[in-house]
């Protein structure tokens, strides 16, 4: 009895005890080299049916420098097991890296995954060149506010893997504005197989900021088979701490207007090289080079005694990496003048020095008279004043009610400015021209009926030719002859301006003088033997190719 | 025939009618030029613009010493009726005794002044279409052109050729403006600080060339070129009454 009771207690305890979730993980390979791809598998076993987990990518926080991406989850319906696969790339730093504990959120419960450890060692044999890898190309120096920094992510293929695509680029840049300039471009030949995405960074405030970039590239290995297509995702992650400073005030020229980079003053262009005094011309200064062309303030031009400068309007050309500053200049004096000097200064972030740029002035010949020219008056004060006869003029008496039938209208706008005047006239003119052209074409065709007749005959001959070919393939000798003769009659009738049915061998000879009469007779006999009486047995068929050639020759005759 | 005669009578009736002098004319005759200006302006707004009304208004404005407004009225009257006697007399008076300058019309402009711009255009369009139809109709009908048709073609094409200088001259006459402000300086450059070169006075007519930066490049009667502010001149081609330059723009 006691044994039975203890057995019942054990059974009841077993039923009442809450089953625990079992979580296990495995990293392949267990120890990796720096930058080596690895796979992480997490297995979950629970006492209830689990289903799919949600928000995994949000929950898992890989350590600095490690790229990790969920590749997929294996879930069977009505099963209390789930498997999660991740692909990752080990950090460059040696040592043990810990993925902190995180939650897997299933529909009915939350399962806690313990922390996962990955050991990175340089004792592991790993050839970096064999695998596809991503590299961040960014200058390693202090950056300056307003500078244009050109960067790139190079996704280089390895000996065993090729990069075929990339997607999901995410960036976080505190204190920077970032713009992707080109995505998934092929790498230059010297860098081997792969893709690259280029971007522009512009620091917008001073200080140190974190810059991170994540993304995924699709790599394809050489091994392909029925169950292995060879394509797999591989994440990449970069984190860089960037330091930004202001352009130094020491040695900064007064004409510096925000230019950071290396620039070249291409030259000046003018819209007219011989203007009049007071006639506005356009002056264009073209600046090229590598730097923040978009952020440069246009250099100020001041007017002087020779030039007046009006507010500038500018155009930019992004494609050619150049910037154009446009000014309107008005010459104030005649003669040979030089355009005002356009100067600017630029800061080179590589050498940390300022440089001055000046566009070479152009010489312009200004025509016209100087404004200060005064006409001298030569008058003799002692001379007697000549009595000038005053012209007989005066205002006429107003006649406001006078009207003229022909001169009515408004001085506000002329008829030519009225909406629709010119378009209506142009439309009607177009219609008249079209109608006249159509009438002319129809009249010409009516005057030359042979054009239509020969066109119809050519169509009939082509049809007969096709039918004859078909009959020959079928072995229908009579049908062949009938088709050829019908075509010959149609063609000859159009030439001789007669009826098709009335054409005989002699008529064909008139049009085709070198045609073989015996062949024509045989052809017509085969075709028209049953015209007036039952047909006799078929005579031996002649050379079908020669018969067809006859018809083709007639068709080709103009 | 009766209908035609009635229509002709209706058309010519206003010409023959001798109206009694209106209130504006009476005011003008009594020397109340301000009243005459007000009444004629009201009449123009109510009943529309005619060359005679504009010319009369120009006379009243001149009597008030407003040369710019008077010249605008007379020039616009001549755009409607190039042979209006009152407007022509007023301009002649302004040029000879009033100290006003006006560019001497070119040969083409004198030719164009024979008719109005609209009449030149209508004549050109009518002659063009006559010539086109003279060519197209016989072709559409499939018949040879008659002798009358040939003559009509020649006449239409001749008329068309005669219209071209008229159209060109009308265009040139339109590109003029009247100085509306007293003592306006012709500036060297179209800027606020543009250097004054010479002066033009109110009522002077100038040829306009091109606008830039709120200014207009003009050429005076004696051939001087320079820039004036757009608000200092009023184009000859414009609405009937002269603009009120002192009126502020609506907010």
* Ordered DSSP codes for A33-58: -TT-EEEEEEEEE-SS-----B-HHH
Contacts of A370 (CB under 8 A, 6+ apart): A277, A333, A334
What b-and-e string marks burial along B72-101, b requiring 16 or more CB atoms within 10 Å of the CB?
Answer: bbbbbbbbbbbebebbbbbbbbbbeebebb
Write out the E strands in A349-446. 353-359, 363-366
Q: How is residue A367 annotated by DSSP?
A: B
CB spacing of B118 vs A414 below 8 angstroms? yes
CATH architecture of the region A256-366? Sandwich (2.60)
What six digits make up the tokens of A67? 């790229």
Closest partner CB to B240 (pick from A278, A411, A439): A411
Q: Which of residues 205-234 of B touch A (CB under 8 A)?
A: 212-213, 217, 225-227
Nearest CA in chain A to B73: A411
pTM of the model: 0.49
- The closest of A60, A529, A173, A402 to B80, measured between CA atoms, is A402
Give helix A477-496 / helix A544-556 axis angle, nearest 10°: 20
What six digits make up the tokens of A161? 């893997």
Cα separation, A453 vs A495, in Å, equals: 9
Strand A116-120 relative to strand A31-32, pairing: parallel
* CATH class name, domain A18-120: mainly beta
Integer CA distances (angstroms), A140 to A143, A149, A242, A292, A349, in order: 9, 11, 8, 18, 12
Strand pairing partners for A268? A285
pLDDT of residue A377: 42
Q: What SS3 state is found at B32?
A: coil
Q: What SS3 state is found at B88?
A: helix
Q: How is residue A128 annotated by DSSP?
A: G
What six digits make up the tokens of A114? 């313990």
Query: Cβ of B166 under 8 Å from any chain A Cβ?
Result: no
A215 close to A168: Cβ distance less than 8 angstroms: yes
CATH number, domain A128-245 = 2.60.40.10
CA of B137 vs chain A CAs: smallest distance (Å) = 8
Measure the N-to-C terminal CA separation of chain B; round to a whole number of Å: 59
Contacts of A451 (CB under 8 A, 6+ apart): A445
Closest partner CB to A395 (pick from B90, B122, B217): B90
Residue of A371, A396, A411 for testing the chain B interface, max B β-carbons within 10 Å: A411
CB spacing of A425 vs B125 below 8 angstroms? yes
User: A419 exposed, middle or buried (CB, 10 Å; 0-12, 13-18, 19+)?
Assistant: exposed
CA of A308 vs chain B CAs: smallest distance (Å) = 7
CB spacing of A400 vs B59 below 8 angstroms? no
Per residue in B99-117, pLDDT (tens digit) is: 889 999 999 999 998 888 8
Within chain B, which residues score under 70 in pLDDT?
Answer: 1-20, 246-251
Q: What is the dihedral of CA A415, A421, A425, A431, to 10 degrees?
A: -160
- What DSSP string describes A299-310? PP----SSEEEE
User: A478 exposed, middle or buried (CB, 10 Å; 0-12, 13-18, 19+)?
Assistant: middle
CB spacing of A414 vs B237 below 8 angstroms? yes
pLDDT of residue B16: 47
What b-and-e string marks burial along A105-127, b requiring 16 or more CB atoms within 10 Å of the CB?
Answer: ebeeeebebeebebebeeeeebe
CB spacing of A396 vs B28 below 8 angstroms? no
Cα separation, A337 vs A276, in Å, equals: 12
Phi, psi of A550 (to 5 degrees): -60, -45
What six digits make up the tokens of A371? 């404004």
Cα separation, B27 vs B7, in Å, equals: 35
Along the 558 residues of chain A, how does pLDDT read in single tens digits? Answer: 577 667 666 655 555 545 578 899 999 888 888 888 888 999 888 888 877 888 887 888 888 888 888 888 887 777 788 888 888 888 888 889 999 999 888 877 888 888 998 899 888 888 777 788 888 888 888 899 889 888 999 888 888 888 888 887 888 877 888 888 888 888 888 888 889 898 888 888 888 888 888 888 888 876 544 445 567 788 888 888 888 998 888 888 888 888 999 898 888 888 888 888 888 888 888 888 888 888 888 888 877 778 888 766 665 555 567 888 888 888 888 888 888 888 889 999 989 899 988 888 888 888 877 654 434 344 454 555 554 544 445 788 888 777 776 666 666 677 777 778 888 999 999 999 999 899 888 888 888 888 888 899 999 999 999 999 999 888 888 889 999 999 999 999 988 888 888 889 899 988 888 888 888 888 888 888 777 666 666 555 568 888 888 889 888 887
- The closest of A454, A478, A455, A456 to A468, measured between CA atoms, is A478
Phi-psi region of A486 (alpha: psi -120 to 50; beta: other; left: phi over 0): alpha
Give helix B51-63 / helix B33-47 axis angle, nearest 10°: 160
Give helix A449-474 / helix A477-496 axis angle, nearest 10°: 170
A75 close to A50: Cβ distance less than 8 angstroms: yes
CA of A427 vs chain B CAs: smallest distance (Å) = 13
The kind and range of the H/E element at B7 are helix B2-16
CB spacing of B191 vs A330 below 8 angstroms? yes
Q: How is residue A276 annotated by DSSP?
A: B
Measure the N-to-C terminal CA separation of chain A; round to a whole number of Å: 125
Contacts A–B by Cβ distance under 8 A: 160
Cα separation, A512 vs A504, in Å, equals: 12
Contacts of A391 (CB under 8 A, 6+ apart): B96, B97
Kindly list the residues from chain A whose CB atom is less than 8 angstroms away from the CB atom of residue B26: none
Kindly list the residues from chain A whose CB atom is less than 8 angstroms away from the CB atom of residue B121: 414-416
Cα separation, B131 vs B120, in Å, equals: 16
Cα separation, A456 vs A500, in Å, equals: 12
Strand A67-75 relative to strand A322-331, pairing: unpaired
Cα separation, A289 vs A358, in Å, equals: 14
- The closest of A154, A83, A396 to B94, measured between CA atoms, is A396
CB spacing of B212 vs A280 below 8 angstroms? yes
Integer CA distances (angstroms), A514 to A457, A495, A517, A519, A520, in order: 21, 16, 9, 12, 11
Cα A102 versus chain centre, distance: 44
Q: Which of residues 41-100 of B touch A (CB under 8 A)?
A: 43, 48-56, 59-60, 62-63, 76-77, 79-86, 89-90, 92-93, 96-97
- The closest of A193, A203, A192, A186 to A152, measured between CA atoms, is A186
């Amino acid at each position: 009895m006691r044994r039975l009771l203890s057995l019942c207690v054990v059974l009841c305890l077993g039923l009442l005890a809450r089953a625990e979730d079992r979580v296990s993980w495995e990293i392949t390979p267990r120890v990796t080299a720096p930058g080596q791809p690895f796979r992480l598998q997490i297995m979950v076993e629970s006492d209830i049916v689990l289903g799919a987990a949600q928000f995994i990518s949000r929950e898992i926080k890989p350590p600095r420098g490690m790229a990790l991406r969920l590749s997929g989850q294996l879930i069977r319906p009505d099963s209390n097991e789930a498997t999660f696969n991740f692909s990752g790339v080990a950090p460059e730093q040696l040592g043990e890296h810990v993925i902190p504990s995180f939650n897997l959120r299933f529909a009915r419960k939350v399962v806690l995954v313990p922390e996962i450890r990955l050991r990175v060692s340089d004792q592991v044999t790993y050839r970096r060149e064999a695998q596809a890898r991503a590299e961040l190309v960014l200058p390693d120096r202090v950056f300056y506010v307003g500078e244009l920094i050109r960067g790139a992510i190079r996704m280089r293929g390895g000996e065993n893997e090729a990069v075929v695509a990339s997607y999901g680029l995410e960036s976080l840049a505190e204190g920077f504005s970032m713009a992707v300039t080109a995505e998934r471009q092929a790498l230059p030949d010297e860098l081997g197989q792969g893709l690259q995405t280029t971007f522009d960074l512009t620091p917008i405030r001073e200080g140190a900021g974190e810059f991170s970039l994540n993304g995924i590239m699709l790599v394809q290995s050489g091994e392909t088979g029925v169950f292995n297509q060879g394509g797999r995702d591989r994440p990449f992650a970069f984190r860089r701490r960037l330091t930004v400073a202001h352009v130094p005030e020491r040695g900064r020229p007064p004409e510096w207007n925000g230019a950071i980079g290396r620039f070249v003053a291409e030259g000046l262009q003018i819209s007219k090289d011989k203007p009049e005094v007071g006639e506005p011309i356009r002056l264009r200064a073209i600046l090229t080079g590598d730097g923040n062309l978009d952020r440069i303030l246009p250099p100020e031009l001041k007017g002087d005694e020779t030039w007046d400068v009006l507010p500038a309007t500018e155009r930019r050309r992004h494609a050619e990496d150049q910037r154009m500053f446009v000014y309107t200049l008005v010459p104030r004096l005649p003669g040979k003048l030089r355009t005002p000097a356009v100067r600017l200064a630029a800061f080179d972030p590589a050498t940390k020095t300022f440089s001055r740029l000046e566009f070479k002035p152009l010489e312009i010949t200004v025509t016209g008279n100087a404004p200060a020219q005064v006409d001298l008056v030569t008058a003799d004060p002692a001379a007697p004043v000549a009595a000038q006869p005053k012209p007989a003029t005066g205002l006429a008496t107003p006649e406001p009610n006078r009207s003229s039938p022909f001169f009515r209208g408004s001085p506000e706008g002329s008829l030519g400015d009225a909406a629709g005047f010119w378009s209506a006239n142009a439309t009607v003119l177009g219609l008249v021209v079209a109608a006249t052209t159509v009438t002319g074409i129809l009249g010409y065709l009516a005057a030359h009926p042979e054009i239509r007749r020969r066109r119809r005959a050519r169509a009939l001959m082509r049809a007969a030719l096709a039918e004859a070919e078909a009959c020959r393939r079928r072995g229908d000798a009579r049908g062949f002859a009938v088709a050829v003769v019908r075509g010959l009659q149609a063609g000859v009738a159009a030439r001789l301006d007669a009826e098709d049915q009335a054409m005989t061998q002699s008529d064909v000879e008139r049009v085709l003088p070198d045609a073989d009469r015996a062949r024509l007779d045989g052809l017509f006999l085969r075709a028209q033997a049953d015209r007036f009486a039952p047909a006799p047995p078929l005579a031996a068929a002649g050379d079908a190719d020669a018969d067809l050639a006859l018809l083709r020759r007639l068709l080709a005759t103009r | 025939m009766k209908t035609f005669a009635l229509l002709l009578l209706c058309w010519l009736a206003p010409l023959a009618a001798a109206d009694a002098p209106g209130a504006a004319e009476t005011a003008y005759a009594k020397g109340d030029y301000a009243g005459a200006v007000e009444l004629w302006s009201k009449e123009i707004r109510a009943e529309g613009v005619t060359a005679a009304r504009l010319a009369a208004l120009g006379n009243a404005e001149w009597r008030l010493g407003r040369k710019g407004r008077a010249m605008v009225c007379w020039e616009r009257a001549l755009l409607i009726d190039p042979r209006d006697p009152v407007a022509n007399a007023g301009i002649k008076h302004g040029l000879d005794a009033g100290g006003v300058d006006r560019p001497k019309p070119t040969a083409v402009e004198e030719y164009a002044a024979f008719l109005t711009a609209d009449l030149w255009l209508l004549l050109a369009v009518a002659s063009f279409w006559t010539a086109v139809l003279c060519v197209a109709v016989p072709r559409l009908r499939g018949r040879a052109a008659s002798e009358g048709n040939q003559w009509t073609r020649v006449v239409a094409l001749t008329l068309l050729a005669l219209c071209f200088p008229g159209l060109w001259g009308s265009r040139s006459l339109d590109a003029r403006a009247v100085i509306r402000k007293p003592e306006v300086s012709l500036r060297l450059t179209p800027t606020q600080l543009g250097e004054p070169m010479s002066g033009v006075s109110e009522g002077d007519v100038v040829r306009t060339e091109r606008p830039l930066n709120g200014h207009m490049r003009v050429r005076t009667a004696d051939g001087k070129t320079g820039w004036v502010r757009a608000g200092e001149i009023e184009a000859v081609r414009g609405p009937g009454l002269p603009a009120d330059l002192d009126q502020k723009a609506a907010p």
